[in-house]
Structure 1
Amino acid sequence: MSDKWLPVSAALAAMQSQITPLTATESVDLTVALDRVLAAPVYAPIDVPGFDNSAMDGYAVRAAEANTGEPLSVVGSAYAGHPFDGKLPKASCVRIMTGAQMPADADAVIMQEQVKRTDAAIVCQATVQAGDNVRLRGSDIHQDAMLLTAGQRLTATHVGLLASIGIAKVEVIRKVKVALFSNGDELVQPGEALPSSSHLYDSNRFVLSAMLQRLAVEVIDLGHIADDPEALEAVFQQAMRSADVVISSAGVSVGDADFTKDVMAKLGHIEFWKIAMKPGKPFAFGQLGSSWFCGLPGNPVAAVVTMDQIVQPMLRQLAGEQVPVPTTFTAEAACTIKKRPGRTDFQRGFFEQKDAKLLVRPIGSQSSAVLTSVAQANCFIILEQDRDTVATGETVTLQPFDALLT
């Protein structure tokens, strides 16, 4: 076990080098496929649209006839799902609605606002070109085209895309199983009365569970464990039998009652337990049998930041996902931002556009125990390990909160 403060990039690289993605798959209905990770690429079995159709309400015509200025007889109507039956006679047109299949031989649609209509005929009052207001077969999706790749996490629009090509079930990587528990004699569960002023409510387990649910993992909630080595060992034994990843909150600092590292040394192996980041320095990573272990700090903000910045990429990799690079922007510091060199800071901030400038400022207390600083923020202000205090007007990097925090 390394006792050094690992730079954030080194900690992420160390974890990435050891994680082997899951390979077991399952077939799920499209209705429950949101946020699941595709196990194989998806190819379109059909063209979309499957026929030439009208892009708007109007009249289906032959462009060459429409431009003569002569009346065109209205010989029928076409609606979505109810096409005009037959070919288009000479010097005629069909009343057509948006999405309706184009009649045979018609090559354009003229908007209803651009015609003069009598009882049984129209005269076009604008120039028409072949292809006007027509959506061609396959113009959205060509049959056999690869639409989605293995390792993509399905979004709402992906689900709609799959439905548009008639797919009702999709093959995905099985869910990562994550066992989660909080640790500490001072913790009391929400809904219970605080026994004394030295107790506090267990917020970590709830915020971490909510974040995990955004990643579509299977959360195994093992509850709250007291500061007792035997109780910790028992819950670790239970967790390593049932989960791919075990996540604890608190117990990895240097206090006399922080027993997690001792139990881990007995049952498994800790790779490292200090990261040069603020908040979040006491973060442990290791292995429990065939399960991975992440020991998060006890301070709420530190737990949230390490879950988002350190644990999230690992879980995405384990799930077989193509791990996305976090979106970042440069912005101008709207005020002085205090910082000491030596650790990468993830300060909670609020960014906004003002007078064509992107400005960002820290929000609330930057204490690792003050959860309101996350609840009221919309980004992390990332200050590099060697950086000192930032003056007003200097450029900084911001990372908008991702789906785990919004």
Structure 2
Amino acid sequence: MGCCDAPGLMPIEEALDKMLTPITPVTDTLTLPLPDALGYVLAEDILSPINVPPFDNSAMDGYAIRLSDLEQSTTLSMVGKSFAGAPYEGDWPSMTTVRIMTGAKIPEGCDAVIMQENTTVDGDNITFNQCSPKTNMNIRPTGDDIRVNDVVLKKGARLTARDIPMIATLGISHISVFRKPVVAFFSTGDELRPLGTELKDGQIYDSNRYGIKPLIENFGCEAIDLGIIPDCPETLKATFEQAQQLSDVVITSGGVSVGEADYTKDILEELGQIGFWKLAIKPGKPFAFGELDNAWFCGLPGNPVSAVLTMYVLVQPLIAKLSGHSEWKEPESIPAITRSAFKKAPGRTDYQRGIYSIEDGQFVVETTGNQSSGAFRSMSLANCFVVLERDRTSIDVGETVQIQLFNPTLF
């Protein structure tokens, strides 16, 4: 143990290894219509059945020409037109040109397309002005984008709004995907009240479920909200038993600290086994991971920033592996110069909320202010995490730190 390690607290890297090692991806597959597949993970490679484009086509509105004709005269007569979906199909006599639109099929024998801005039109006589066309100018050849049997997306890719139209260009109507993992979640604590009710002394609104649910869905899972569960061992145990029958992963917020009313850890020991509890991370130290009879378990801290942070840093890679999302990557770390000071004590990796910008090509970052694990406004204001190493102390203005830009799951 290093001089700056916190006794009894597991480093994040070790925790992630212990979480991810036993996880095996779901294997159940579905065949879905393409419009319904957004956010699912591909269960097989997608190979193109066609060339894209499937024929040589024009990149411009203009005129199809043969270079040999233009060498003899800069004025050619227009013999016909080629539109997208309605190609020119007649004979193409020498010393003539074909009017052509963007995306239209190139007539056989065409060497180049000259854009209409470089022409003068006098009835059917087209004069080509100061133009020295090259072979294949403004022509998009067959398969210029995708060739037959190209792998356009690999198994394990999670389908985005950019992928769906690309697959549609291939004429593929249905695809094979892995089913989405199911995640059941609930909050614990007698002090929690649902939105829309009046608070009494000592009570707070349950905000954690409103942060956990969108993250679960943004991670590519189906979310089951089991609500607020009071600090009652019998009720908690019954909820755990229900949750593990409904889901692949059970997530709780609160109840994993050391208070007298924190029963989650005890119930987990009864219904399954604890992999670890308490990490060298700030905020989020009281994070628990374990296994129930029929589901994995992640116990988040009760403070709202801690809950979202541990979902993002720890639960997100677990879900990625479980869902078969083999192309998932952790957020990239980028060096940035501080524009404000950051307080830090050694012993835990500290994820502080920051606001980055770029000045003269250099990333710079400043604090959002209050870094308390209960101050969620700082999370709302942030666009990055400032990741301060375990052995690091407070940072002055002008020092270099590592930042992680929020990935799309937090947008």
Query: How far apart are the structure 2 equivalents of 1:29 and 1:211?
Result: 25
Shift of 1:116: 2.1
Asked whether the 8 Å contact 1:12–1:310 carries over to 2, the reply is yes
C-alpha change, 1:198 and 1:67, in structure 2 (3 Å) is farther
1:364-383 residue CA offsets vs partner (Å, 9 max, x unmatched):
31000011111110000001
Q: Does 1:352 align with 2:357?
A: yes
1:90-131 residue CA offsets vs partner (Å, 9 max, x unmatched):
111111110111111112100111112221121222011110
1:26-85 residue CA offsets vs partner (Å, 9 max, x unmatched):
011211211111111000000000000000100011123224334211001111111111
Query: How far apart are the structure 1 equivalents of 2:74 and 2:22?
Result: 75
**RMSD of the alignment, in Å?**
1.1
1:75 aligned residue (69, 76, 79): 79
Give 1:181's aligned residue.
186
Query: How far apart are the structure 2 equivalents of 1:393 and 1:68?
Result: 69
Q: Bigger CA drift: 376-385 or 61-70?
A: 61-70
Asked whether the 8 Å contact 1:62–1:130 carries over to 2, the reply is no
Give 1:335's aligned residue.
340
1:310 aligned residue (295, 307, 314): 314
Query: How far apart are the structure 1 equivalents of 2:353 and 2:153?
Result: 35
Give 1:235's aligned residue.
239
Shift of 1:144: 0.6
1:139 aligned residue (116, 137, 144): 144
Shift of 1:228: 0.4
Query: How far apart are the structure 2 equivalents of 1:68 and 1:370?
Result: 78
Query: How far apart are the structure 2 equivalents of 1:253 and 1:199?
Result: 18
Q: Bigger CA drift: 175-184 or 385-394?
A: 385-394
Amino acid at match of 1:267: L
Give 1:284's aligned residue.
288
Q: Give the alignment's TM-score, normalised by structure 2.
A: 0.96
Query: How far apart are the structure 2 equivalents of 1:383 and 1:140?
Result: 44
Mapping of residues 76-115 of structure 1, within 5 Å: 76-115=80-119
Give 1:205's aligned residue.
209
Q: Where in structure 1 are there 5+ consecutive unaligned residues?
A: none
Asked whether the 8 Å contact 2:317–2:330 carries over to 1, the reply is no
Shift of 1:88: 2.0
Query: How far apart are the structure 2 equivalents of 1:368 and 1:166?
Result: 50
2:270 aligned residue (266, 270, 273): 266
Give 2:301's aligned residue.
297
Q: Give the alignment's TM-score, normalised by structure 1.
A: 0.97
Amino acid at match of 1:155: T
Asked whether the 8 Å contact 1:66–1:128 carries over to 2, the reply is no
Amino acid at match of 2:302: G
Query: How far apart are the structure 2 equivalents of 1:67 and 1:334?
Result: 64
Shift of 1:4: 2.8
Query: How far apart are the structure 1 equivalents of 2:22 and 2:351?
Result: 25
Shift of 1:145: 0.6
Give 1:163's aligned residue.
168
Give 2:3's aligned residue.
none
SS in 1 for 2:396: coil
Query: How far apart are the structure 2 equivalents of 1:396 and 1:83?
Result: 59
Give 2:40's aligned residue.
36
SS in 2 for 1:156: coil
Q: Bigger CA drift: 41-50 or 114-123?
A: 114-123
Query: How far apart are the structure 2 equivalents of 1:358 and 1:67?
Result: 55
Give structure 1 regions of 4+ aligned residues with deviation exceeding 4 angstroms: none
Amino acid at match of 2:104: A
Query: How far apart are the structure 1 equivalents of 2:65 and 2:137?
Result: 10
Query: How far apart are the structure 1 equivalents of 2:142 and 2:176?
Result: 28
Amino acid at match of 1:378: N
Q: Where in structure 2 are there 5+ consecutive unaligned residues?
A: 1-6
Same amino acid, percent of matched pairs: 46
Give 1:400's aligned residue.
405
Query: How far apart are the structure 2 equivalents of 1:80 and 1:229?
Result: 69
Give 1:124's aligned residue.
128
Query: How far apart are the structure 2 equivalents of 1:247 and 1:146?
Result: 37
SS in 2 for 1:272: strand
Asked whether the 8 Å contact 1:343–1:384 carries over to 2, the reply is yes
Asked whether the 8 Å contact 1:67–1:127 carries over to 2, the reply is no
1:185-231 residue CA offsets vs partner (Å, 9 max, x unmatched):
0000011111x131110000111001111122111111110000000
Query: How far apart are the structure 2 equivalents of 1:218 and 1:358?
Result: 36
Asked whether the 8 Å contact 1:87–1:105 carries over to 2, the reply is no
Give 1:190's aligned residue.
195
Count of residue pairs the alignment pairs up: 403
